[in-house]
Amino acid sequence: MEAPKSHRTLREELHSILFSTTSKAGHRFDMFITWMIVISVAVVVLDTVASLESNYKNFLHMLEWFFTILFSIEYLLRLYASPDRKKYAFSFFGLVDIMSFLPTYLSLFALGKQSLLVIRVLRLFRLFRIFKLGHFVSEGAIVANALKASKEKIIVFLSFICIASVFMGSLMFFVEHQINPRIQNIPDGVYWAIVTITTVGYGDVLPITHLGKTLASIVMIMGYAVIAVPTGIITAEITNRVLSPRGKDTIVCIHCGNMDHLRHARYCHHCGETLHE
């Protein structure tokens, strides 16, 4: 049970705001930091556009230092308010927090400013904090559990896609290699097969012969399975897990023995007889 607000120390107040989302102040702080992260990453992205960088160099530089100082203060406050400072400092979020402002300080001593831009984009990982807000936790758990439960099916499907890509790529090489300068070896054919079967279709490698075009048509049709099959697998798992909390009870039908019934069901969905709890 939380201590009365009037008896809280400064450290406890900061912990409630910085690490907790149950209070209004904590929720508002998280939303504020979220917007700061999004805007700061936008500044990093715009800084790579030559025309904008030359025209607004000083303004972008000022914004970058504003966000750096802001995130530095936030990190120090989190470190101060954390019950276990060492654990926070070396945790995933702690390391991401420090990497959100450290590159700017390093740019003062290291050459090659552009090489540190990628590290600054790691600020986006801080958005994962928002998943601690309310209903996002349970919703995220449903998706994560569905992916975990579908792991074996997805691995089997991806294995089939890999085998099909190598097989179709080898066939395309056999059909096209003598007259198509774009397909001179099996890896070229496999590359074409992967690009085609995933429905990406760059268009940089094209079949020339009629037989090659026929083979390409078959691979294009197979490409629809790349979208349909894993989508169906994951959707089915998510559906089961969404319905499951609403509840399935082990109510055995004494007439047919079926046990899979929704909570509060009055009749067996298999034989239609009345259920007795």
Q: Is the dihedral of CA 73, 74, 76, 77 positive or negative?
A: positive
Q: pTM score, two decimals?
A: 0.56
What values do phi and psi take at 261, rounded to 5?
Answer: -135, 140
Contact call for residues 232 and 154 (beta carbons, < 8 A): no
What is the structure's pLDDT at 129? 62
Q: What is the pLDDT of residues 184-234, one digit of tens each?
A: 999 999 999 999 998 888 888 889 999 999 999 999 998 888 888 888 888
Contact call for residues 261 and 268 (beta carbons, < 8 A): yes
What is the structure's pLDDT at 247? 47
Q: Is the dihedral of CA 159, 163, 166, 171 positive or negative?
A: negative
Q: Residues in the chain with pLDDT < 50?
A: 1-3, 245-247
Contact call for residues 259 and 252 (beta carbons, < 8 A): yes
Q: Is the dihedral of CA 25, 29, 35, 38 positive or negative?
A: negative
* Distance of alpha carbon 135 from alpha carbon 196, whole angstroms: 39
> 3-state class of 181 per DSSP?
coil
Single-letter residue type at 88: Y
What is the structure's pLDDT at 12? 84
Alpha helices by DSSP H, the chain: 10-19, 24-46, 50-55, 57-81, 85-89, 92-99, 102-106, 117-120, 136-149, 151-176, 186-197, 210-246
* Distance of alpha carbon 29 from alpha carbon 19, whole angstroms: 10
* Distance of alpha carbon 78 from alpha carbon 96, whole angstroms: 13
* Distance of alpha carbon 29 from alpha carbon 261, whole angstroms: 44
Alpha helices by DSSP H, 131-209: 136-149, 151-176, 186-197
What is the structure's pLDDT at 70? 93
What is the structure's pLDDT at 3? 47
Q: What is the pLDDT of residues 159-174, one digit of tens each?
A: 988 999 999 999 999 9
What is the structure's pLDDT at 189? 93
